[in-house]
Structure formats: structure tokens, C-alpha cells
Amino acid sequence: MKNKCILQVEDEEADIFLLKWVFQRAGIESPLRAVTDGQMAIRYLSGEGEYADRQKYPLPCLVLLDLKLPGMDGLEVLAWTRRQPNLRRLVVLVFSSSAQPKDVERAYELGANSYIQKPSDMEHTLEIAQLLKGWWLAYNHFAPVYELPTPKSA
Amino acid sequence: MNAPLRILHLEDDPVTSELVSGLLRRDGLAVDMDRVDTLADFGSRLSSGSHALILSDFSIPGMNALEALHLAHERRPNLPYVFFSGTLGEEAAIEALKQGATDYVLKDRPGRLVPAVRRALREREERSRQAEAEHAGRLLAAIVSSSENAIFSKTLEGRITSWNVSAERLFGYGAAEAIGQPITLIVPPDRFAEELSILEGVKHGQGIENQETYRRHKDGSLTPVSISVSPVRDREGKIIGASSIARDMTERKKGEEALRQSEEKFRAVFEQAAIGMGRVNFTDARWIDVNDAFCRMLGYSRQEICATPWPQITHAEDVELDLIPFQRMAKGELQQYTVEKRFIHKQGHPIWARLTLSLVRDRQGRPDYEVAIVEDITERKETEAALQKARQELAVANRDLDRKVREHTAKLRETVAELEGFSYSLVHDMRAPLRAIHTYASVLEEDSRARLLPESLDHLRRIKLAAHRMDQLIIDALNYSKLVRDELPLRSVNLGPLLRGIIETYPNLQPPGAEIRLQIEDLHVNGNEAALTQVFSNLLGNAVKFVAPGTKPKVRIWAEELESESVLIWVEDNGIGIPKEGQGKIFGMFQRMHRAEAYPGTGIGLAIVRKALERIGGQVCLDSEPGKGSRFCVKLERAIESKQPDRLR
């Protein structure tokens, strides 16, 4: 459980800060990494560029994905992961301030595992962190996610 | 005179008859004696009718001679009846003559017989001629009097001597008035010379025939007559007067006048018609004559047109069109035809014309010429062409319009999509800093609670509250704008499940915080689920929010079906109520009745309610009094329940 890395894809600094804060408050020990746009997310998941170091940036077992991102948006990142043979089983929780039915439907169609509306206050965010800790980190079983053998990484 | 004179002789003595025959023969009269001696024979012989004379004895035994005379007069009134008798007293003789006998001769003076017979025969002949003349005269008189024509005669001096019935009728004078008067009675003064010359001619044996002139009626009017005058001669052939026959020409004159007028009218029509008219010769296709309208139509003079065969002033493309029926008409195969073709105006431009052409035949029935009625239809043709062009342009414009509409629609869709994108950004980007404010305030509060003054903690609380309110404001404004902008298709919505769903969604609508009695199970209305959700979540949210401190909100929802297609949904609360003066403003944007501290809210809720209902054809009204709660009433249209339920979301 300690090794289960969580990747947050979020462009808002305050939300990154808050999540880190509530994780700490909730006692989640899993490493939390954050990227601030879609391209970075893809590079991270591919282990490319600055994210080639898997010691520092381990492959996550769970992604908290904001939808509204500069450049490539969350749904595109989601779609991309589902096209990757090694990442199509990656658990992706959409974590967006929008709960428009259109977005919810599209996210599930593209293979999101859950859709959570980002609360606007700390109390509810803390509650979500606590639930996440129990549901996803304590009780949930993940299918293995592995690195794709590439010439570079070989 | 060569044929023997047949004499019927009533005589019982044959010798006497022989004697008579001898006497007459000796005098040169060939006679054929037909002797009878009974009255019966006499009567039957009379009927044979071939006798020229009757000789009769006066005293025949068993017979009355006067009886025979009567019989003869009865049967042959003109037959001379001469008594030749031995015994005839003077008395009897007188009686016989009185009774109609022609003569009597005594047997003892036979020498008188022959002269008597001759005289009787002569007299008979004369009488017969006279009768014939009389008959002829009567016949003539009858003819004259019954003639349709006025027949009258006059002396060489011009004095009227006879006057028939038709003359009375024609001139108005009765015979008694006219006869004896000078003929100038009926001759108008300007015709005196004519009359004199006629009479002069008559004196020289010359008549006139069917001369047309005028005669004067008694009433002074002039009567057209045709007169024929012939000289009248006496027995010796000397000219003694003139007979005139005057035929009434009034009717014929009237006919001639009518014909003349008709021709004049036709000529006037022909000349003055606004429509072109003309006659065309078949032999050289030239105009015999044309009217002014036709000349004006084509800009040529009459001479120019009449010198030109029509194909030369017809548009080349249209010559065939007219020439083929023209040639058929020339052969008499076609009585009439109509053609629309172009002439060429003298100035070169085409003139559209509609021609109606009719064949006129001569007395022998052969095609003589063609009458053309020519209507200028250039304007009509131009109008048609313009119309056609306009139609085409309209079609093009329509296509253009269609394209423009499609373009605009696409652009509008694009704009709407942009707006939606904008709203999305609004939600995300404007709310993000607020969340940041809220987040850092919360974290600061949590992390530094022990180190902060109570006032500072209160400030942090106020920062969080303000950020939260701002967030709510954005959400409500966004909801409102969505209601304004979004398509809200009308469907049948079941209000029961919708209301239950709302109540179950919001914790503040559930016990123990609030007590809501929903008295609607199934109620289908025409509306839109999203809009109705906005309406009732706001109404219910307000109902539980605006209560006096310490009061538990109690809300009742029920439906009142109206007789029309409508239904009223009532939402009744036990809240603080709304003052009358505020009730008009309450549905406006950002209208608040209370300070945000007392009752938090954005002031958009009821504006959303009103707008949403407006969009789906509903209404909202309010019945409230401060301290006695409020009753909001939503009026909606009932839906037909058999409709399919709204699609699941």
C-alpha cells in the first residue's frame, strides 16, 4: 500500500496544494505526484523525458484526472490511456469541478472508473480523501499495470 | 262565220222549219235547224249550248210558249229569243217582249224574219263584247285596287283622274280628296320640274320605268318611291293621259340606310379601333388596307405597309408560323386561325402581336381576302418574360437565402458552442480562484488555529463565507443563463418522481431538518425535466430556508387540477412570509428581501423559477403574508398520460 503511487493531473496550484494537504491530514502515505497539463500526464505515464526516472516518478496505480486542462484536456488523456495496451486497465478517477451530464457520460464512455465532482471547500475534500483512502487504497484490487518495453527503456 | 248557224227551233210543224231554213239560206246565212216540239226536248237541247239563236212558235198544242221563254232565259240568258208565229195578238206580243223576247215575226210576213234574225244575232254579239269589256274592266279595277302599289292616273294637264287604295295609303289622301286635284298635290316643290318633264314625255308617247324620286304625303313628310308612268290612249290611239304606278321605297331605303350606316360604323371601327385591323390579299400577301392603329403599332405609314407583303415585316423566326395557315386559308381550307408572332417595327425592334385571321369569300364562295385583327401583346410578353426572369431570380435568391440561413445557423451554432465553452470556462476558471481562496483560508484556519486571535479566526470564516457566496452566485447565474440559452424541448414529465428525486437529493429537504409532505404521486405535465428541476428545487430550497429562527420548516406540496388543460402545483410553507410590497419584485434578478447574513442566498433563485416557467409555458404566482408563510403556485399544462415517459437520464 505504501508503494501505490497516485498521479494527480491538475492545473490549479491551490487544488494540488489542497489535495496534498488533505492526503496528509487523512494519513495517506502513498506517494502523490502531480502534473499540470495533459501532455505532461502522457509523458509521465509513458516514462518519457523528465519522467524517465521511475524511482522518482513511479508508474501510478490510480490517476485523479481533472478535465479542464490547458492544451490537451482530461478526456483526451483518458482516451489516450485506453489506447495504450499497458495502461488500459489503469484506474482513472475523474476529479472535476464540472458535473455536466455531457462530461460525465463522455468520461464513462471513454473508460473512466469513477467520476467525482471536486468540492469547493476543504471539509468535503478531506472527506473524499478519507473515502479514497479506504475504498481505493485499502480495499480495492488493482490489475497490474506495467511498463511497455521500449527500445529506450531497454 | 263559215260554220253553219245553229238555230234551236221550237215548232211542231216541220214544214215551217224547212221554210225558215230556206229563207235564211237564200239570204246567205248557213243554218242548221234543230227543231224540237216539246218543252222537255227544248230544255235538254238548251243545255247542249251550241245554239246561236232560238226561234219559237207561240202556240204549240199542250205548251205555254212563255214558259219556254222563261226556261231559255234561265238557262241561256244571252241567247236571242225570236218568236215566229202565226197567231200572235198584239197583247201577246207585248207580253212576250216584256218577258224578254228579242223580237217577234208573224208567219204571214216571213220577209221580216231574215232582218230580225240578223239583228238579233248582231245585238247578241254586241252584248257579248260589252260583257267581255265590262269583265275586263272589273278585273283591271280589282287588280288596281288590290295592288300593293299606288296606282293613279292623270290627264295630260296633270289632273288626277283615278286613285287606288294603295295610293290612299301611300299618300294619305282618300280617292275623293285626290281625284280632280292637280298631281302637284303629291309632288314636292323641288320635284315639279321632274313631274313636268315626265308629263312632257308622256305627251310624246314616252313612259318612264322605276324612277326613284320622292312624293309628298298628306302629312307633309317625304316618301321615297319608285315610279313608272305610261301614256293612256283613247280608242283612236290618241294620248289622253298618263297612268302612274308608285312603289313605296321606304323599307328598302331603310334597309339601304341601315346597310350604309352599318358600313360606316364598320369603317369607323376599322379606322378608329385601338386594335390593329387590316385586310390581306391572298395572291401577293399584301395588305389591301390597314387602319391607323396598325400603322402606329409598327411605325409605318399606310402606304409603306400596303406596299409590303406581310412576311417582310414579320420576324424571320415567326414567318413559318403564320405562313402555313395563311396558305391553307388561301386554299379555303381554313376559316379562321390565331397566331402570336413578332412583327418588326420600322425602327427595328420586335412587336409581339396576337393575330386573329378570318377568311372572307367572294360571291362564288372562293377565298377573297383575309381580315386580320392585330393586338399588340408586347407588354404582356415583356411582363411574362419579366415574370419568368423574376421567378428565376427568386429561385436563385431562395437558394441564396437558403444558403445564408444555413450559414447563419451554422454560425449561430458555433456561437452557441462558443458560449457554452465560455460558460464552462466561467464555471471552471472563475470558480477556481474562489476555491483557492476558500482552500487557503481553510488550511490557514486549520493549521494556525492555536496561534490566531479569535478576531483573525472570525475574519478567516468571513473570507470563506464570501468565497462560498461568490461561488453560489456564479453557479446560479450560470444556471439562469443556461435556462435562457438552452433548448428546452417540451415533453411529458411526471412531476411525482421528479419532486421525490429533488427531495432525496438535498439533505436540507429531509428530516430531521425539514418536514416535507409531497401529495403528488403521478402527475404528467408538459414541460422540461431540467427546467422543472430548477423550478422546484429553488422553490423548495426557499421554503425550508426562509423560516423564523428555531422553527422547523414544514412544507406541503399538492396539485389542484383545473377544468381546463391546466394544473396548479402548490408549495406551501410555514416560513416568515413575504411583505406585500416585496411580492412584485421578488421574481427579479438579484432581488433579496433579507441580508445575506440572516438568510444566505444569491437573489437569483426566483428569477430562475420565473424564467424556467416562461420557457416551458408555465406561470408562477404567490400568496403570502408576513408571519403566515407563503404559498407559491405553479401553473402548468397537463400532458396526455399515455405519452411515453421522458427518456431516462
Q: What would the pLDDT profile of B431-440 be if each residue is shown by its tens digit? A: 788 888 888 8
Query: At residue B644, does pLDDT exceed 50?
Result: no
Cβ-Cβ pairs closer than 8 A, A with B, add up to 55
- Paired with A6 in beta bridges are A32, A62
pLDDT digits (tens, 9 = 90+) for B470-492: 888 888 877 887 777 778 888 89
A15 and B468: CB-CB below 8 Å? Answer: no
**Given pLDDT bands bounded at 50, 70 and 90, which one contains residue B2?**
low
Q: Is A73 on the interface with B (CB under 8 A)?
A: no
pLDDT digits (tens, 9 = 90+) for B492-505: 999 999 999 888 88
Tell me the whole-structure pTM to 2 decimals. 0.42
Element spanning B113, H or E: helix B113-146
- Mean pLDDT value of segment B366-378: 90
Strands (DSSP E) along chain A, which ranges? Answer: 6-9, 32-35, 62-65, 91-96, 114-117
Strands (DSSP E) along B234-381, which ranges? Answer: 239-248, 276-281, 287-290, 336-344, 350-361, 367-376
- N-terminal to C-terminal alpha carbon distance within chain A: 28
C-alpha cell at B643: 405519452
- Mean pLDDT value of segment B271-276: 83
C-alpha cell at B541: 430550497
pLDDT digits (tens, 9 = 90+) for B182-238: 998 899 998 888 888 888 888 898 888 888 898 999 998 888 899 999 998 888 888
pLDDT digits (tens, 9 = 90+) for B136-185: 888 888 888 778 888 999 998 889 998 988 888 889 999 899 999 999 88
- The fraction of chain B above a pLDDT of 90, given in percent, is 20
Interface predicted TM-score (ipTM): 0.76
Q: Is A100 on the interface with B (CB under 8 A)?
A: yes
Q: Are B603 and B594 in contact (CB under 8 A)?
A: no
Instruction: Give the Å distances, CA to CA, from A9 to A12, A99, A107, B255, B413.
Output: 9, 17, 15, 119, 31
- Mean pLDDT value of segment B253-278: 84
User: If you measure CA to CA, which chain A residue comes closest to B530?
Assistant: A101
CA dist., res. A123 & res. B624, Å (int): 37
How confident is the model at residue B583, as a pLDDT? 80
B438 and A101: CB-CB below 8 Å? Answer: no
DSSP B369: E
CA dist., res. B498 & res. A3, Å (int): 46
pLDDT digits (tens, 9 = 90+) for A130-140: 999 999 998 99
Residues of A in contact with B427 (CB under 8 A): 97-98
* Mutate which: A15, A96, A122, vs B, most B CBs within 10 A: A122
- Higher pLDDT residue, B112 or B594? B112
How confident is the model at residue A154, as a pLDDT? 37
A97 and B435: CB-CB below 8 Å? Answer: yes
A14 and B434: CB-CB below 8 Å? Answer: no
- Mean pLDDT value of segment B315-325: 90
Q: Is B649 on the interface with A (CB under 8 A)?
A: yes
Q: Are B5 and B50 in contact (CB under 8 A)?
A: no
How confident is the model at residue B642, as a pLDDT? 47
C-alpha cell at A94: 475523474
Q: Is B647 on the interface with A (CB under 8 A)?
A: no
CA dist., res. A74 & res. A62, Å (int): 14
Q: What is the mean pLDDT of chain B?
A: 86
Query: At residue A153, does pLDDT exceed 70?
Result: no
Residues of A in contact with B433 (CB under 8 A): 14
**Given pLDDT bands bounded at 50, 70 and 90, which one contains residue A42?**
very high
Q: Are B342 and B353 in contact (CB under 8 A)?
A: yes
